[in-house]
Structure 1
Amino acid sequence: MRLGILTRDFRVYNRLLTLLKGMNQSFDSLLPGDDLKGFDIVMTDMKIQGNNIVYTKGLDEFRLKQIVKAKDSEKIVVGIDPGPSPGIATLANNVVIDKRSIYNFREIREYVTKVRNECTYRNFIIKIGNGDRNYRNQIIRNLDDFNLLIVNEKGSSKTTKRGNDSESAINIALSNDIV
């Protein structure tokens, strides 16, 4: 995929640069007047027209990750591996667009809300592993106004190192073993 950045505001450019570097996504820095037709996506803070143009101020992290990694996705799944350091992963049509560990329940709720508000989807699903009962129940209470699915997380951390809960969260998001 060929991606370009065309901005007037350096702060927007810097936000996009940081985001794309964090994703290991290559891109071209563009100038006004450059030909944009050879690009799959051009992220910009300028009012310009085109099928490949994505207008952004660089603050909509999850929407941009979805566009870059799984542009036409219809399903967003957030997988959560409960525990002392909960892993969380977001997939768009089974493509990982984000993974991390989050250490408090308020931040988990903020994360899920931000993903729900920024991404484009037909189906938004949250899957929580059935592992650590105490942490799982706290997460469920914290997300009580979302539709939640509890999945069997047996084997979700089979190939991951201890403490790598975001990898387990990916497996939970991919699981169809509803409890």
Structure 2
Amino acid sequence: MIVVATDDFEVYHGVVTELRDRGVDFTTIEPDGEWPDEAAVAVVAAGERVEIPDGVDLVQADPERPRRAVEAAIDALRGETGRTVVGIDPGERPGVAVLHGETVVAAFQVPAAEAADLVAREVEDAPDPLVRIGDGARLVGSRVIDDIEDVPVELVDETGTTPYLGSGARGMGDVLAATNIARREGEEITSRDIEPTAGELTRIKDRSREESETNRAIDADLARRVAAGELTIEEALAEHGGEPSETRPGPARGGDAEGDSGPDPTDR
């Protein structure tokens, strides 16, 4: 059993809340109170002097990081010393799963621009962490890889990582895929240079038209910069503001094709 024994209210509140949220059996005592016979792990505040019984593992909790303390206590309870692995299912809102050994300890879905910062926070105190990212969504995935610093990254074949989602499970696919990616070995990689295809550039230009207040689409050069992560769609639209726009072809009227500029030669 996990025993929380601390006079630090902030640590007490944070750790107890985390334990309750995870449905973990625990008890609390005063630091000088009587220890239950089934005590296996003690959680106390960092720097706090508490005498614990022989054979009880000690976890010291930072008041600003109660989740870390709870993860360490659960690992100690289970006898696990597994590596921290972060799995990422890339996309505009990547699924992210954090595993300690075989246990999923956290899951997220965030905008792609926030993924690297999330990884940095999740592995900050972890010894020898690893990131595994799926090889799909090439453009977004390459930007995420480039943004991750000081953590080894493996590129994983994500074929078959997204499970069948039954009734009531909609929206969970990306996170479940990230969990499967975290458990699959990949090839170590430091960057991923991607030349966007014509179709990918067209989709970026279509998105820019949808987000434009005047139905404007950015040109191919700006679309390539968006694909490379140099610009956001909003920044590209602002830069494109004073330039001639590509307009959506209109229906022909009476055989007059005026206004229909035809295919964009930059997409060839």
TM range, smaller chain:
0.7 to 0.9
Question: How many residues get paired?
Answer: 175
Match of 1:152 among 148, 157, 178: 157
Judged with a 3 Å threshold, the aligned counterparts in structure 2 of structure 1 residues 177 and 113 are, in CA distance, closer, same or farther, namely closer
Deviations 1:77-130 (A, max 9, x none): 110111122111111222212112122423x223322232223x3x42110011
Amino acid at match of 1:117: E
Amino acid at match of 2:130: I
Match of 1:70 among 75, 79, 104: 75
TM, length-normalised to structure 1: 0.84
Are 1:22 and 2:29 an aligned pair?
Answer: no
**Match of 1:43, SS?**
strand
1:18 offset after TM fit, Å?
1.9
Task: Give the Cα separation in 1 of the matches to 2:81 and 2:137.
Answer: 31
Tell me the residue number matched to 1:118. 125
1:39 offset after TM fit, Å?
1.2
Task: Give the Cα separation in 1 of the matches to 2:92 and 2:161.
Answer: 16
- Contact map agreement 2:86 2:130 (CA 8 A) in 1: yes
Match of 1:172 among 169, 181, 184: 181
1:61 offset after TM fit, Å?
4.5
Judged with a 3 Å threshold, the aligned counterparts in structure 2 of structure 1 residues 128 and 22 are, in CA distance, closer, same or farther, namely same
**Match of 1:4, SS?**
strand
Task: Give the Cα separation in 1 of the matches to 2:82 and 2:160.
Answer: 27
Match of 2:109 among 87, 101, 106: 101
**Match of 1:175, SS?**
coil
Task: Give the Cα separation in 2 of the matches to 1:139 and 1:58.
Answer: 30
Judged with a 3 Å threshold, the aligned counterparts in structure 2 of structure 1 residues 149 and 12 are, in CA distance, closer, same or farther, namely same
Amino acid at match of 1:139: V
**Match of 1:117, SS?**
coil
1:10 offset after TM fit, Å?
1.9
Task: Give the Cα separation in 2 of the matches to 1:19 and 1:62.
Answer: 6
Match of 1:141 among 139, 146, 171: 146
Gaps in structure 2 of 5+ consecutive residues: 189-268
Return the structure number with greater relative CO, CA threshold 8 A, min gap 6: 1
Identity over aligned residues, as a percent? 23
Task: Give the Cα separation in 1 of the matches to 2:11 and 2:68.
Answer: 15
Tell me the residue number matched to 1:47. 49
Task: Give the Cα separation in 1 of the matches to 2:42 and 2:164.
Answer: 37
1:49 offset after TM fit, Å?
4.1
CA-based RMSD = 2.3
- Contact map agreement 2:132 2:156 (CA 8 A) in 1: yes
- Contact map agreement 1:82 1:131 (CA 8 A) in 2: yes
Task: Give the Cα separation in 2 of the matches to 1:115 and 1:169.
Answer: 15
**Match of 1:157, SS?**
coil
Judged with a 3 Å threshold, the aligned counterparts in structure 2 of structure 1 residues 55 and 152 are, in CA distance, closer, same or farther, namely same
Q: Considering only CA atoms, is the larger Rg found in Structure 1 or Structure 2?
A: 2
1:27 offset after TM fit, Å?
1.3
Amino acid at match of 1:56: A
1:37 offset after TM fit, Å?
5.5
Gaps in structure 1 of 5+ consecutive residues: none
